[in-house]
Chain A
Amino acid sequence: MALDTGDTAFIIICTALVMLMTPGVGLFYGGMVRKKNIISMIAMSFIAFAIVSIQWVLFGYSLSFGTDIGGFIGGLNFLGLQGVGLDGEGIPDMLFMVFQLVFAGVTLAILTSGVAGRIKLSSFIVLGLLWTTLVYDPLAHWAWGGGWAGELGALDFAGGTVVHISSGFGALALAMVIGNRAGFGKYSMEAENISTTLLGGALLWFGWFGFNAGSALAADGLAVNALVVTNISAAAGAITWMLAAWIKGKPSSLGMISGAVAGLVAITPASGFVGPMSAILIGGFAGVLCFSALLFRERRGLDESLDAWAVHGMGGFWGAIATGIFASAAIGGVDGLIYGNVNQFLIQVLDASVAMIYAFVVTFILAKIVDKVMGLRVTEEEEYVGLDISQHGESTTA
């Protein structure tokens, strides 16, 4: 198959859309922290994107998509992008490389949730590099690069395990290693700027069209299906989380936008395999599930500050399982549980569980190592004045 200009044009645009999700995560998170940490939160997303951009072209892409080694990791044959050319099947190989790069970037940005307002920037950079290399790259290889999960037939259309389970359970492990923010549970740490969070959420929803539709890797009917179910699931999640929050008090806009993100996360692995009515169920249930996960985390007194675990971890886990339930052969060629394919359901459960355990355990170990070697956390005084001033020498208020 030769290059297709339509497909190529479409994936270039999708790549740009997904890139916008990274600063989107920054704004989404930035609005939820206190005024003294907002620059730090937004900056960490940009920094994550910059680090991963270089890591990916040097060796990350090769570890993810190079020749398979034992089902676990890719070989070094694409080191420094050697052999990644401007021609390919349908779209140029180089375009596929950069489309995958923007996914890796946004994943590391999501991980910052677990360390909000208390991590040393230098340690975040080192940890981020290690995490992308040892957690993200293997998971990407398992799902899409010829690894064991893909070989087994696990379905992950746009990265439910790779992006969301990995960053969500990684953030949980990080939060457990670095510890709660000073004063957590003792005094109010309410979101400082909801409108910034809403803007970030809007950019995420927008960018997600490229994330899921682009994962078809062609401007075709499957891409249209992904776009449509993505929007449906986001809307359903926004409504159910908002309703759940309404029952407990007010229909907060923060709950509404968190629900939309939960719906987006959950439909991600399923978007090439399920139809519109399934998308309502997947997104709608994600809103309620992720909200419950957030309440559970709060009850446990665990400061996974911006709920990457509740929204991306649990939402991603549900999405992976839901793919095994609702997949329809008429859309993506594979049937799920509701069409009698128990096997697919079991594969999904196995894939999501392995991804969850791997991401949690390896992140925990990496965080412990970085903590021992260079210290993960800022000093008490630095945390008190805020990371904007202590890590960047900048402030939104001065």
Chain B
Amino acid sequence: MIVKRVIAVIRPEKLEDVKSALEEKGYFAMTVHEVKGRGAQKGICLQYRGKQIKVDMIPKTEIEMVVGDEDVRPIIDLIRKNARTGKFGDGKIFVSPVEIVAGIRTDEEIVS
């Protein structure tokens, strides 16, 4: 079995929508982090009478899930659908391989 880690950085206010959409399709397990970051739009620029105030670390929510290879595509689609506003700052999804998944209570181990 090939195991993948999906990391989605999304707008904090979209977390509830994304979470419940994933849960509805049976993707329950996840770790959620509150993070701050900046992306392609280089933060948000606020103008004050000629003076610029740059807010470049914007609060985001990061969802981390470890899933089988076959679940990656539907998860990406679900997150896209539920986290999108169409404006800058909607976020990104990263997928990477996981070598070992080892349960702590159980001795279960999955080696990719």
Interface residues of A (CB under 8 A from B): 35-36, 183, 186-188, 379, 381-382, 384-385, 389-390, 393, 397-398
Contact = CB atoms under 8 A, between A and B. Distances in A.
A393 B13 CA distance: 22
Given A187-B17, A385-B58, 4 more contacts: A187-B16, A381-B46, A382-B46, A385-B44
Give me the 10 closest cross-chain CB pairs, A-B, nearest first.
A187-B13, A385-B55, A381-B44, A389-B55, A183-B13, A390-B46, A385-B44, A382-B46, A187-B16, A188-B16
B59 interface: yes
With most chain B CB atoms within 10 A of its CB, the pick from A35, A186, A385 is A385
With most chain B CB atoms within 10 A of its CB, the pick from A35, A382, A384, A398 is A384
Contacts of B36: 397
Contact of A384 (B14, B16, B44, B57): B44
How large, as a class, is the contact surface on chain B?
A: 10 to 19
14 contacts: A35-B59, A36-B59, A187-B13, A187-B16, A187-B17, A188-B16, A379-B46, A381-B44, A382-B46, A384-B44, A385-B58, A389-B55, A390-B55, A397-B59
Interface in B53-108: 53, 55, 57-59
Contacts of B17: 187
Contacts of B14: 187
Contacts of A390: 46, 53, 55
Nearest to A36: B59
Contacts of A186: 13
A183 B11 CA distance: 12
Interface string B1-32: 00000000000011011000000000000000
